[in-house]
Chain A
């Protein structure tokens, strides 16, 4: 994927500003806070937006108004939108049919993709009855089902529980090892770091840095990291958290605990173990607001 002097304006607002970048094969993480231009970049790369200036080529061809390229691209969008009345299998099959497959071949591809994302058991359930994590996985299945060369995943781990998050990260790494090129966006550094060392840092519509993630993570670790954990037994969970020395503060919000940690890696690792053991009941959802990353970006911009 190559962008040359790529800009996108929404009236007076600049979404992306004169970006020139070449994304190599393999897994590349696109990291930036909300409003940084990640979504604009993803929409340009997937041909949903037309560049205001400059060009973007994917797999050697311009993507805008080039539907033939989508034979080789799979896209998992950020938005949580589906045909709710369809089952997961029906939905993925219907979308793969648009790639020119007949009904039986499409159904077989859809089943394979649902197996890959560990969703076969719920394949015949209506999507409207899926949990947030299942909805994320069925979105990935539709992106995978036609065996694309390039996978573009926009915030794929958002809203998943810790165990599914770990499984999904492993899946993405496996796809990368199997030879697929993957562009994955997130506003959580540790997620990207666990998938790939190659990152593009984006903020205020510009690529701030590209390359190895490790230099950035040192900066991140200097800032407290907020984690929102929605769980069955919030009080039991809070008791567990209080025993961690890296937990700086915590508060209750509806059916969730909001934690500030000084060492996000250690916190996430222990949270995954806690979820697997079930010691503090079921953990339904883990999300991280991007305030911590925003602080680092502000620091980077100033320096």
Chain B
């Protein structure tokens, strides 16, 4: 015989069940509120940095700096266009040291002289040093520093926004130059394409390294732009001229090891560089650049966490 619950017993059981459900819900709610209170105490770095990235990318893309960046990146494209027109006008081609130069070596020359030695460091200096300084100068940093996010997330989010913004703008510029220059003298676009991909990767690595170094300069020093320019165009090329270990304290030493094109011998300085050039391996260079990025961002993050930026206003 099975025990069939009487209506009153069913009702009592149902009532117990409802009470248990309510209690469980109540406990759940308490747990949830406890969890929520806990979450409120511990804002995470990465999600906070991603939100700052969202906020900053649009700001960066439509800033006055981007106009400057456009002009800077338009230069090589205009030069490539002019070379292409001249090739059409003078079909005998360009001669370097008496020999007819093909498109690929000219493209390599442009990568070295314009992008590696000039545009990448300039972008690093102008954007990297301004990551926090612009917000401080505009007095908008207060809105970010009085939100429940770690201050270092502001730096990190802005750094990634810089990397995305500059990469989005530099890659089309390099590709346009590539498509305009490589066919000169019968060069094959398809054959040189893998080298182009390596160039693009190398340029992004360069932007990452210079950006991180100059972000550190921007967060630590009072006149970051001057210091940045001296570092990029005084210290780095200067140290590379001499033999010894000092050149390992530069970004250029590791970055130049990633370039697949021949280093141009366009001046006495370049010749000197060539003579004393040591080329570290690709893996060594990539690891060193990763360490430079990591260490620079860590120290920059520490500076942002502890510095009283309102005093600069």
Given contacts A47-B146, A48-B146, A142-B143, contact A98 B308 (CB under 8 A): no
Residues of A within 8 A of B147 (CB): 67, 70, 95, 98-99
A50 and B308: CB pair below 8 A?
Answer: yes
The proximity string for A residues 28-62 relative to B, scoring 1 for CB distances below 8 Å and 0 otherwise, is 00000000000000010011111000000000000
A95 to B308, CA, bound (A): 21
Task: Find out whether the CB atom of B140 lies under 8 angstroms from the CB atom of A98.
Answer: no
Cβ contacts A115-153/B at 8 Å (1 or 0 each): 000000000000000000000000000100000000000
Q: Give the chain B neighbours of A82 by CB distance below 8 A.
A: 140
Q: In chain B, residues 43-102, which have Cβ atoms closer than 8 Å to a Cβ of chain A?
A: 43, 47-48, 51-52, 54-55, 59, 62
Assess the A73–B43 pair: CB atoms within 8 A: no
Q: Does A10 contact B (CB under 8 A)?
A: yes
Q: Confirm or deny: B8 has a beta carbon within 8 angstroms of a beta carbon on chain A.
A: no
A81 within 8 A of B: yes
- A85 interface residue, CB < 8 Å from B? yes
CB of A106 to closest CB in B, whole Å? 10
Q: Quick check: B140 and A81 within 8 Å, CB to CB?
A: yes
Q: Chain A: interface residue count, which band?
A: 20 to 34
Confirm or deny: A97 has a beta carbon within 8 angstroms of a beta carbon on chain B. yes
Q: How far is the CB of A9 from chain B (nearest CB, A)?
A: 11
> Closest CB of chain B to A260's CB: distance in Å?
32
Q: What is the bound-complex CA distance between A195 and B145, given in angstroms?
A: 28
Query: Whole-angstrom distance between the alpha carbons of A49 and B55 in the complex?
Result: 25
Chain B residues in 8 Å Cβ range of A77? 139, 142-143, 146
| A244 interface hit (Cβ, 8 Å) | no
Given contacts A46-B146, A67-B147, A98-B148, contact A10 B311 (CB under 8 A): yes
State which residues 134-161 of B face A: CB under 8 Å: 138-140, 142-151
| Contact present for A71 and B148 (CB under 8 Å) | yes
If A10-B311, A48-B142 touch, whether A100 touches B148 (CB-CB below 8 Å) is yes
A277 within 8 Å of B (CB atoms): no
A99 to B148, Cβ gap below 8 A?
yes
CB closest chain-B residue, reference A47: B146
Interchain CA distance A94-B51 in the complex, whole Å: 8
Residue B42 lies at the interface, judged by CB distance under 8 Å to chain A: yes
Among residues of B, the one whose C-beta sits closest to the C-beta of A11 is B311
Known: A10-B311, A83-B59. A98 touches B151 (CB 8 A): no
CA–CA, A101 to B54, complex, Å? 13
Residues from chain A with Cβ under 8 Å of B59 in the complex: 83, 85
**Which residues of chain A from 52 to 96 have a CB within 8 Å of any chain B CB?**
65, 67-73, 75, 77, 79, 81-83, 85, 94-95
Interchain nearest-CB distance for B248 vs A (Å): 35
The reply to whether A49 and B148 contact each other, CB–CB distance below 8 Å, is no
Inter-subunit contact B62/A68 (CB<8 Å) = no
Chain A CB within 8 A of B191 CB: no
Cα(A94)–Cα(B305), bound, Å: 22
User: Which among B55, B139, B308 is the interface contact of A97 at CB below 8 angstroms?
Assistant: B55
- Given the complex of chains A and B, what is the CA–CA distance between A213 and B265 in angstroms? 79
CB within 8 Å for A43 and B310 given contacts A67-B43, A79-B139, A83-B140: yes
> Does the CB pair A65–B305 fall under 8 Å?
yes
Q: State which of A50, A72, A94, A98 has its C-beta within 8 Å of the C-beta of B149.
A: A98
Residue in chain A with minimal CB distance to B59: A83
In contact, B55 and A67 (Cβ under 8 angstroms): no
In the complex, the answer to whether A68 meets B40 with C-beta atoms within 8 Å is yes
A81 touching B138, Cβ below 8 Å:
yes
| Contact (Cβ within 8 A) A67 B151 | yes
Checking B51, B62, B311 against A98 with a beta-carbon cut-off of 8 angstroms, the contacting residue is B51
Q: Which chain B residues lie closer than 8 Å to A10 at the CB level?
A: 311
Complex contacts, A97 vs chain B, CB 8 Å: 51, 54-55
Q: Which residue of B lies closest to A139 (CB)?
A: B143
Residue B41, interface by CB 8 Å: yes
> Do B52 and A98 have beta carbons less than 8 Å apart?
yes
B142 touches A67 (CB 8 A): no
Cα–Cα, bound, A159→B255 (Å):
53
A100 and B310 form a contact (CB under 8 A):
no
A67-B149 CB under 8 A given contacts A49-B310, A49-B311, A94-B55: yes
Residue contact A100 to B43, C-beta cutoff 8 Å: yes
Instruction: Please give, as numbers and ranges, the residues of chain A lying within 8 Å of B143 by CB-CB distance.
Output: 77, 95, 142
Chain B residues close to A by CB (< 8 Å): 39-43, 47-48, 51-52, 54-55, 59, 62, 138-140, 142-151, 305-306, 308-311, 313
A-B contact pairs, 10 of them (CB 8 A): A46-B146, A47-B145, A67-B147, A70-B147, A79-B139, A79-B142, A79-B313, A81-B140, A98-B148, A100-B47
Give the 4 A-B residue pairs with the shortest CB-CB distance, closest first. A81-B139, A98-B147, A68-B41, A70-B148
Which A residues have a C-beta under 8 Å from some C-beta of B?
A: 10, 43, 46-50, 65, 67-73, 75, 77, 79, 81-83, 85, 94-95, 97-100, 142
14 more contacts with CB within 8 A, not counting A10-B311, A49-B310, are: A48-B142, A48-B308, A49-B308, A65-B306, A67-B151, A68-B40, A71-B40, A73-B146, A75-B146, A77-B146, A82-B140, A94-B54, A97-B51, A99-B147
